[in-house]
Structure 1
Amino acid sequence: MQQTTNTILMIRPINFRMNEQTAVNNYYQKELAGLLPAAINAKAQQEFDDYVIKLREIGVNVVVVNDTDEFDTPDSIFPNNWVSFHENGTVGLYPMFAENRRFERREDVLLKLEDAGFLIHDVIDYTSAEEENVFLEGTGSLLLDRVNRKAYCALSPRADEDLFIEFCEDFEYFPVVFSANQTVEGERKAIYHTNVMMCLGETFAVICLSSIDDKKERKNVITHLKEDGKEIIDITESQVNNFAGNMLQVKGANDTLYLIMSESAYNSLTASQIQKLEKHTAILSSSLKTIEACGGGSARCMMAEVFLPKA
């Protein structure tokens, strides 16, 4: 089993904007005043293209699929929420909280990977849970330690505990469940996705421990990370607001490990945190200002890792 992959699926947006359906519980989204939708979309496309170029320059195999204008899918740039790809050739399809995000699930995306030589043996489809208003948004909700077979999940309106346990049974992961909160206008509210406050690398974990208000739950998460030999790099809520939790470790050329993050995430880190991370991995950052502001997601959300076997 591998924790990191060299192949990433990314969806190039064509109608990117702030999604009013996700803003109800994604408190990172903002309106960009004075910018027309076409200008926002053009900026997002430019950030996307620059990001893909940077990833390819370090040797990451990026499979880019263009969004379609068949449906209104302003968040299509974040494919890791609707699909996950696993080493045994299984694909997971996930139930999405926002109705307009459900149109992001596209069979032709899977066909494109098969055309690129990847094997899909089985699809486990959880999407019927949407009928019961039950959600689990892919590797936004699930943080997978693929080597140690543990799955971390911060419960929220977009991450249902029972469905998470079902996923763990189907994919053979040990569940580590907790609640993670942020302060919104003086109130503690659930962070919408686990991957906003936590990132798992091969030998480290970046995590906002102070977001786990329950001391027992916090201690349990720390215990699991430590027993698997991960160095814990703790980040603050302010750093989470700059998407410092939304990072992903990938393999570049010659299996060199890179931690991918946005420019705002990198700029929010302290010198000591950067030093700790650089003991484990090289770092690559890219400017994603528009995508972060309107989409409320960042570098990690834009990458769906492909672990499928090759023909």
Structure 2
Amino acid sequence: MITRDPEAFFAFARDCPPDATRATPRAAFLFAPDGFVRADESAHDNHYMADAAAFDAGAAQAQHRALHRRMAAVLPTVCFPGADDTPDAVFPNNVFATVPGRSIVGRMHHAVRRREAGRGDIRGFLRDLLGYREIDLSDQPHPCELTGALVVDRARGLGFCGLSARCDEDGARLMHAAFGLRATLLFDLADGEYHTNVVLAVLAGRAALVCRDGFADPAVADAIAGFYAHRVQLSPTQKSAFTGNAIALSADSVWMSAGAALALDDPGRRAIADAGFRIEAVPLDAIEAAGGSLRCCVAEIY
């Protein structure tokens, strides 16, 4: 099902038991911040982006390399080079995604990022090396920025899709089908928000980080938080620190930037620990100048 009705959605979702074997990825890939500068086109609807003077390519490279090393100790992680004609291509999760046996290529809202979808090396890696059947959404007209717009509870096969210029209802329906989801809840993001994964994280199907301020209707945020036994209600300040831009990369680890972790309060830390996770915090302030954080950097391989 795909619906805007939270009551109907959660009535259905309660009958979708979690499957821990598919809750976290088996591998991941990254894009190196080569040619890292401010992309003014992307900044039109991403108020999290810094001014051009705040972009430090050397620091971004060093922090990204450290992220790669840290992740590779937990799961196989490949890093592909960036390119000068895609200056903010450090967030591959918006463009490429996988489910078992299939790869998905999204449709980006801005032309500067649509170039990323044409990368033959990524498509070849997923199709020819991993043997995934490709579902290409990049040539149709509806924006659908994959796991930026769509937060997925992989354990249950549920989707939470925030609508904005980065994803419309038709794009959401295309993603619902491509990911093979059991149910997807549609809702509007608050004015000024561009991606759901800044205001919501679902961690291995066991916990949720939710910022009510990021939803046009805070009651939807409350319904999502109430579905999970462990939940953290994020403040606007924590949202701005990218605390909601987190990801579970293993059954016992939640990853976020060092700034995001620093913004967490004691109740939030306890909730995450009670859900069975340790926090892995990685300095990424130079990357965050581009308007995203750790979760955005990670394209998951299932």
**Which category of TM-score, normalised to the shorter sequence, fits these structures?**
0.7 to 0.9
1:26 alignment counterpart: 46
Q: Residue 22 of structure 1 aligns to a residue in which SS?
A: helix
Q: Is the aligned partner of 1:212 residue 2:211?
A: no
Residue 14 to residue 171, structure 1, CA distance change in 2 (3 Å): closer
- Note the 1:1-311 alignment, pairs <5 A: 2-33=22-53, 40-57=56-73, 59-69=74-84, 72-87=85-100, 89-105=101-117, 106-113=119-126, 118-120=130-132, 122-130=133-141, 134-173=142-181, 174-181=183-190, 189-202=191-204, 203-222=206-225, 226=227, 229-251=228-250, 256-279=251-274, 280-293=276-289, 295-307=290-302
The alpha carbon displacement at 1:111 in A equals: 2.4
Over 3 Å counting, the alpha-carbon distance change for 1:219 and 1:6 in structure 2 is: same
Gaps of 5+ in 1: 182-188
Identify if the C-alpha distance between structure 1 residues 215 and 249 changes in structure 2 by more than 3 Å, giving closer, same or farther: closer
Q: Distance in 2 between matches of 1:176 and 1:108?
A: 33
CA contact (8 A) 1:176 1:221 kept: no
Deviations 1:168-188 (A, max 9, x none): 13433211111222xxxxxxx
Match of 2:8 in 1: none
Query: Structure 2 length as normaliser, TM-score?
Result: 0.86
Q: Would you identify which runs of 4 or more consecutive aligned residues in structure 1 move more than 6 Å?
A: none
Q: Secondary structure at the match of 1:21?
A: helix
RMSD in angstroms over aligned alpha carbons?
A: 1.9
Q: Which residue of 1 aligns with 2:16?
A: none
TM superposition shift of 1:107: 2.1
The 1:215–1:296 alpha-carbon spacing in structure 2 relative to 1, beyond 3 Å, is closer
SS in 1 for 2:66: helix
| 1:216/1:236 CA distance change after superposition, 3 Å | closer
Matched letter for residue 98 of structure 1: H
Contact 2:210 2:225 in 1 (8 A): no
TM-score by length of 1: 0.84
Displacement of 1:220 in angstroms is 4.3
Once residues 213 and 82 of structure 2 are traced to their aligned partners in structure 1, the CA distance between those partners, rounded to angstroms, is: 37
CA positional deviation for 1:213: 3.6
How far residue 129 of structure 1 moved from its aligned partner, in angstroms, is 2.6
**Deviation string for 1:205-237 (max 9, x for gaps)?**
1111233242553454345xx1xx442211011
The separation in 2 between residues aligned to 1:218 and 1:285, in whole angstroms, is 25
Structure 2 counterpart of 1:212, one-letter code: F
Distance 1:68 1:216, change over 3 A: closer
Residues 100 and 213 of structure 1: is their aligned pair in 2 closer, same or farther, counting only changes over 3 Å? closer
* Paired residue type of 2:72: R
Q: Distance in 1 between matches of 2:178 and 2:60?
A: 36
Amino acid at match of 1:165: R
- 3-state DSSP of counterpart to 1:153: strand
Specify the SS of the correspondent of 2:165.
coil
Q: Count how many residue pairs are aligned between Structure 1 and Structure 2.
A: 278
- 1:184 aligns with none
Distance 2:301 2:218 in 1: 35
Contact kept in structure 2, 1:179 and 1:190, CA below 8 Å = no
Secondary structure, aligned partner of 1:85: strand
